[in-house]
Amino acid sequence: MHFQSYMYILAIVVDEYLRGEDWDEPPEEMAFAAPYGAILDEARALVAELAASADGNAATAAHANTVAKALRLYVLAPALVNVILNYKICVEHGLPLHPTVYYELAEARRYKMDHPIAELELANRLYLSSIELARSAYRLDPGFGERAAAFEARLPPEIPRFVYTGGRDRYSWRGAEPDKLDALAKKVRASYSPTLLVAAAHGAIMPGLLLAEYLDLPLYFVRFSMFKRKDEAPIISLSDEVWFSSWRRKSVLLFDEDVAKGTTLELFSRRLSPFFGEAKTACSIRHAGSSFAPDFAARLWWE
């Protein structure tokens, strides 16, 4: 892991901006809409500019413009995964490829489209690559630009036109606070040694990317959005099961950023635990009234 360069962006975002933010109210920067191709282009530019600032003096690194770029990258990188996960689900479950629509899985019964096997294989390869690409952006990896260009060259022609729409999600914002994730990682490392982190998407994508860096673990996302997408269960395909088979005797950490009632993480754990040798649960915030108690929580929230 390129920890030194990664900690550079984290230091800017946290020390110069986010530590002074109100973590109850997500910033305006979270609310944006942009085509996937434009997001890739912007991420390339941001990583290059921030990496160049990292080689400069402290005054340059602390400049307000640089801080704004760091925050932008912080909220932009999750879109690299979000769109490709949606594409993967559409291909696996016979849904149309629409540039602006995130379908509920129940709609698959109406469309019943037959996407070719080659596209299914490509969607899964791109999905795994998108996770590594987003993590590479957070690290300010020197090779990010080349990696992003190679990734884009593999995309089906319609994907760069897919529009990501982000909102000021209070739960994701609260759960993505680096201090909480750092504290959570320390609690996990003190008593558990997971070999894989699996997080619930789409809400836990931003905090999941950061937590995986703190824990230095491979990362995978499974869509399970009970309230925004009306998912009745985690959306697990045969391709997911095949990928999980490599970890069947190993330990996993199952993560959701915010545990209010606890239903999402409890069902997530119940569905996913059988794929692994050992499974424990974690969250950034557990609300005091939650009926489900994760194995690890960064903060107990009283409301």
pLDDT tens digits, 249-273: 999 999 999 998 889 999 999 999 9
Same domain membership, residue 202 and residue 144: no
> For residue 113, what pLDDT is reported?
76
**Per-residue confidence at 228, pLDDT binned at 50, 70, 90?**
confident
Mean pLDDT in residue range 205-233: 90
Same domain membership, residue 14 and residue 161: yes
Task: Write out pLDDT tens, residues 83-142.
Answer: 999 999 999 998 888 888 887 777 766 767 788 899 999 999 999 999 999 999 998 898
Position with higher pLDDT, 58 vs 198: 198
Same domain membership, residue 162 and residue 18: yes
Same domain membership, residue 19 and residue 135: yes
> For residue 41, what pLDDT is reported?
98
> For residue 1, what pLDDT is reported?
46
CA distances from 223 to 47, 87, 94, 169, 282 (A): 27, 12, 16, 16, 17
253: three-class secondary structure by DSSP = strand
Same domain membership, residue 14 and residue 157: yes
Same domain membership, residue 21 and residue 72: yes
Same domain membership, residue 143 and residue 9: yes
End position of a domain, from candidates 127, 143, 166: 166
**Per-residue confidence at 52, pLDDT binned at 50, 70, 90?**
confident
Nearest-angstrom CA–CA distance, 77 and 266: 27
Same domain membership, residue 177 and residue 129: no
Residue 27 pLDDT exceeds 60: yes
Query: Tokens for 106?
Result: 């129940």
Percent with pLDDT over 70 in the chain = 88
Same domain membership, residue 157 and residue 13: yes
Q: For the domain that residue 240 is a member of, what is the CATH number?
A: 3.40.50.2020
Same domain membership, residue 183 and residue 55: no
Among 4-18, 169-183, 233-247, 288-302, name the one with the lowest average pLDDT. 4-18
Domain that holds residue 248: 170-301
Same domain membership, residue 184 and residue 161: no
End position of a domain, from candidates 129, 150, 166: 166
Contact between 199 and 253 (Cβ < 8 Å) = no
Residue 21 pLDDT exceeds 70: no
Instruction: Specify the number of domains making up the chain.
Output: 2
> For residue 8, what pLDDT is reported?
67
Task: Write out pLDDT tens, residues 155-179.
Answer: 999 999 999 999 999 889 989 988 8
Residue 19 pLDDT exceeds 70: no
Same domain membership, residue 183 and residue 160: no
CA distances from 274 to 84, 108, 271, 277 (A): 26, 26, 7, 8
End position of a domain, from candidates 134, 166, 198: 166
